[in-house]
Amino acid sequence: MRSYRKEEIPVADSRKYLEPTPVVLVSSRYKSETNIMSMGWYTIMEFVPSLVGCMITGANHSYELIRKSKECVINIPTANMLETIVGIGNTTGGKLDKFRKFGLTPEAGKTVSAPIVRECYAHFECHLYDAQMLDTYNFFIFEIRRALVSVYPKYPKTVHYRGDGEFMIAGKNTSIPEKWRPQGK
């Protein structure tokens, strides 16, 4: 195995190395108002029920829409949408319709009123599961109630945020099933 030369970095830069999840577009709706936001960090909290936790700042327009509606859709875009992802993250839905601005198609979900973003390859319809950390940390815990994933490609290239406007494109997959021991076995 290889040994790496290390150097200390500012603690605030740790996220650049710890955020392996793909950037997602979180869509929301409250009454007649919709929005989309880019999110570079969230965490899987439980498998059954399927729980996802994330912090959304109260300054974000989506925060109130999601807090009031108690639902959202987590959409996974592909790498060819990088400029759209950044554009969505750099604008506020309080001033414009992001679906129209970025040429995205809202589609109806089955378990939520928040729209699915058709151009994304995966969609996870979420309902607020636990709001205990919302007032203190703006931390939402959602339960995924419906998951819809494209059949092809099975593993598309996704975008991963590293902080400070830097992204990584993932897409190559590897497998070692003979070494893998599923959880609980």
> Using one digit for the tens of pLDDT, what is the confidence trace for 28-51?
999 999 999 999 989 999 888 999
Tell me what the mean pLDDT of segment 63-68 comes to. 98
**pTM, 2 dp:** 0.89
Cα 14 to Cα 162: distance, rounded to the nearest angstrom: 9
Residue 10 lies in a domain: no
Classify 22 as helix, strand or coil. Answer: coil
Residue 184 lies in a domain: no
Domain count, the chain: 1
Residue 133 lies in a domain: yes
Q: How far is CA 176 from CA 2, 77, 134, 161, 173, in A?
A: 20, 27, 39, 26, 10
Residue 100 lies in a domain: yes
CATH of the domain at 160: 2.30.110.10
Cα 51 to Cα 120: distance, rounded to the nearest angstrom: 21
Give me the residue label for tokens 């950044």. 86
Can you give the residue range of the structural domain that contains 162?
22-170
% of the chain beyond a pLDDT of 70: 94
- pLDDT at 15 (0 to 100): 63
Q: Report DSSP letters for 50-101, one per residue.
A: TEEEEE--TTSHHHHHHHHH-EEEEEE--GGGHHHHHHHHTS-TTTS-HHHH
